Amino acid sequence: MKIMELPIEFEFNGQKNHINLSLIISKNELTLVDTGYPNFLPFIENEVLKNGYDMKNLKNIIITHYDIDHIGSLYDFKEKYPHINLIASEVEAKYISGEMKSERLVQAEEMLENMPIQEIEFGKWFIQQLKNLKHVSIDEKVHDGDWILDNECRVVATPGHTSGHISLYFPRLKTVIAGDAAVIENHELLIANPHFCLNVEKAEQSLRKIKDLQAENYYCYHGGTFTL
């Protein structure tokens, strides 16, 4: 088994941005972690192909949490590759499937009420983007401590950024895929975007939790790979 970073570069508001998906390769099977923004399917496919892998071998998609830059293209993936097994925490699965209104949408609507006038237009646009996301049913709902991917990967509950956020720990590879439980800033692992954390205290506890695993590699969705 090995893990590969899939960096996706894109432009937003005239600025270059990056996100870093992870591709888990086990024998002939591929597992993708998170799916980028809406309409990112072709970018991700190109990145997978560029690295010499075939999309027909994509078996699983693991979603770390419900956020537009993580689930944006999930519906497109499931439409194009219906055989894919979708994995997420039981908490996040409720939001992804539309069973419950997402925490991020609730937060965005609440924030809109107190936004400065110059930010209201963006706030309304962001809410509409969240409302436009298509719901997808999750095939496999996981919990803290569950072993997946042939018992090579342990699910680690890392709430804070969202309630049901998960990270993935690979003991044999001494690697953690952190999602948004951590971000790399100034060569340090920190909590990601505290302003958008639903619970900063829990986010800090979750960061300590994955640091205590003493992995050698931390794959962060924002910032890339942190290597000790």
Between residues 64 and 12, which one has the greater pLDDT?
A: 64
Render pLDDT for 52-99 as a digit per residue (tens, 0 to 9).
999 999 999 999 999 999 999 999 999 999 999 999 999 999 999 999
The pLDDT of residue 196: 87
Torsion sign over Cα 207, 209, 214, 216: negative
The pLDDT of residue 48: 97
Percent of the chain residues past pLDDT 70, beyond the cut:
100
Render pLDDT for 29-42 as a digit per residue (tens, 0 to 9).
999 999 999 999 99
Q: How confident is the model at residue 22 (pLDDT cuts 50, 70, 90)?
A: very high
Cβ proximity of 192 and 202 under 8 Å: no
- Scored b (16 or more CB within 10 A) or e, 147-173 reads ebbeebbbbbbbbbbbbbbbbbbbeeb
The pLDDT of residue 15: 84
Cβ proximity of 91 and 163 under 8 Å: yes
pLDDT(5) > 80: yes
Q: Pick the closest to residue 157 from 148, 171, 167 (CA basis).
A: 167
